[in-house]
Amino acid sequence: MNPAAPHLHEMTNSHLLFEEFDYYEPATLEEASRLLGSYGGKARLMAGGTHLLPLLKAEREGLRALINLSRIPGLDGIELRDNGRTLAIGGTATIRSILENPLVRQHFNALAEACGTFGSTQIQNMGTIGGNICNGSPAADTVPALLVHNAELVLTGPEGERRLPLGKFLLGPGRTALKAGEILRSVLLPVPAQGTTSLYMKISRVAADLAKASLAVVLTRSGDTIEDCRLAMGSVAPTVLRLYSAEEVLSGATFSPERLAEAGRLAAGQISPIDDIRSTAWYRRQLAGVMVQDGVGLAWERAAHPQPASAVPTADGHHPLPAGARVMAGEREEIALNINGKVHKVWVSGNELLLNVLREKLELTGAKYGCGVGECGACTVEIDGHPVLSCLTLAVSAAGKRIATVEGLQDPVTGALDPLQQAFIDQTGYQCGYCTPGILMTVRSLLAADPHPGEMAVREYLKGNRCRCTGYASIVRSVLSAAKE
Ligand code: FES
Ligand code: FES
């Protein structure tokens, strides 16, 4: 043992806590915009926190205030407007809510598929479309799909409301056209004409990773002609970009392998990829050509037999709460956490994480600290029926919501184990057991939504949970066995 190493308790704290800030949960976008302006560039917006909180932990952000938009009423809605001609998605709609939405699955296949590849199940439950767009990342999963669906953004700020096509919003890595005090209210998508189909493809190192390259396609087919085709790629240039030259040779042309090859060549020539930890520029160029050919070919086939994206299991439990909470830097507030059906009153600062509060203040040590940045799933708990990462959840933001931890699985009276726990014992679904609470708390919501999932559904749902010793075969076997019971 290294004598200079900090005590585990201190080490955990130093990894999980970041500098203090004023924390707000405004009730309206206008109030949020006013607060944003009042800190003169030293305040940040958050909703899911899956991008910002890891940055804060790495101390790459010096900020004075955090403004959480997630309790603003109505900002997470998804609805048809203009007599069914436009789909409006609120800025704080979570990726999972978009993935599960029947209107999205019926009309915007590429967006549904992009949401399906977005991070882990837990990240999908936390991350929002507004965050994914406003981060300005060239690897953002939803952005290529939104670009080919001709998305328009509704922005609210001190000077009122304005609309901007998504293509004009993206300026460079981490740079957007957002003005000071402006906030994304919603994303507007024109409902495509009959006969139009779309898809999203992504190549990444492992499941739940960012893309080496991604492609979205919208295609309208008429007989043997490609009436219209729109293409956008991610992770191959400073911003997600439309492939206009490839679109031009395809739109209005008779479908043929030669046309596809030409489009692939043009796409590879238009992009400006870089070498980074996920891939090389050379490989991305090869990918671009192949992905365009494959993607357009697949969209062409789909257009002959259009089908909405297949349904995903949906978990219940959205319980919006009134907004208005605030905790100023240096102060503590008493909040009520409803955990496993019991209310716990606890004093917290605005920057305390739910994982710390559970483990260190309430002695509920089932949720584990693994990576601290949203990549291992060991800290998973349920909030309002959805698995989320407690290492990226501010405790104050969970106040009043329904929290479930692994401690709540056992019958409090008889001590009997939940059938899911028993199945893990019977099927040897654990070895050291460190990952097991997170896996149990993730898979519970899958079984609630789909009591008889197939093996692939289990693997897909658990793609954000890492196990370093058992191996996934026995974990999946345990889940399937519990489902059978
Ligand atoms: S500790 Fe939360 S995801 Fe790893
Ligand atoms: S059982 Fe040891 S990490 Fe999964």
CB 379 near ligand 1, within 6 Å: yes
CA dihedral 260, 266, 270, 273 (to 10 degrees): 60
Phi-psi region of 50 (alpha: psi -120 to 50; beta: other; left: phi over 0): alpha
Q: Which atom of ligand 1 is nearest to the CA of 379?
A: 2
| Tokens 């405004």, residue located | 26
User: DSSP of 413-482, one letter per residue?
Assistant: TT-PPPHHHHHHHHTT--SS-SSHHHHHHHHHHHHHH-SS--HHHHHHHTTT---SSS-HHHHHHHHHHH
Enumerate the domain spans of the chain.
8-71+320-406, 78-304, 410-484
| Ligand 2: lining residues by beta carbon, under 6 Å | 430-436, 467-470
Q: How far is the CA of 469 from the centre of ligand 2 (A)?
A: 5
* pTM exceeds 0.75: yes
Per run of 10 residues, the mean pLDDT along the chain (length 485 residues) is 36 56 94 93 93 82 88 95 97 97 95 96 97 96 98 96 97 95 97 92 88 96 95 97 97 96 97 94 96 96 76 52 74 94 94 95 97 95 96 94 96 93 96 97 95 96 93 95 92
Q: Which atom of ligand 1 is nearest to the CA of 466?
A: 4
From residue 175, how far is each of 63, 323, 450 by CA, in Å? 18, 29, 40
Q: How far is the CA of 126 from the centre of ligand 2 (A)?
A: 24
Q: Which atom of ligand 1 is nearest to the CA of 122?
A: 3
Angle value at C-alpha 49, between 70 and 319, nearest 5 degrees? 35
**Ligand sitting nearest the alpha carbon of 436:** 2
Q: Are 485 and 423 a contacting pair, CB within 8 Å?
A: yes
CB 389 near ligand 1, within 6 Å: yes
Instruction: Enter the CATH code of domain 410-484.
Output: 1.10.150.120
Instruction: Say if domain 78-304 classifies as CATH 3.30.390.50.
Output: yes
CA pair distance 302, 192, nearest whole angstrom: 15
For 8-71+320-406, the fitting CATH number among 3.40.640.10, 3.10.20.30, 2.60.120.560, 3.20.10.10 is 3.10.20.30
Q: Are 212 and 235 a contacting pair, CB within 8 Å?
A: yes
What is the Cα gyration radius of the chain? 23
CA pair distance 411, 418, nearest whole angstrom: 7
Q: How far is the CA of 367 from the centre of ligand 1 (A)?
A: 9
CA dihedral 114, 117, 120, 124 (to 10 degrees): 10
Contacts of 409 (CB under 8 A, 6+ apart): 417, 418, 420, 421, 440, 444
Q: Reduce the DSSP state of residue 370 to 3 states and report it.
A: coil
Fold match between 8-71+320-406 and 78-304? no
Q: What is the pLDDT of residue 46?
A: 94
Check residue 309 and report its DSSP letter. P
Q: Are 45 and 26 a contacting pair, CB within 8 Å?
A: no
Q: What is the pLDDT of residue 315?
A: 53
Identity of the amino acid at 291: M
Name the residue at shortest CA distance from atom 4 of ligand 2. Answer: 467
Q: Which of 425, 430, 475 to mutate to test the pocket of ligand 2 (most atoms within 8 A of CB)?
A: 430
CB 437 near ligand 1, within 6 Å: no
CB 430 near ligand 1, within 6 Å: no
User: DSSP of 325-346, one letter per residue?
Assistant: -EE-TT--EEEEEEETTEEEEE
CA pair distance 34, 349, nearest whole angstrom: 23
Q: What is the pLDDT of residue 473?
A: 96
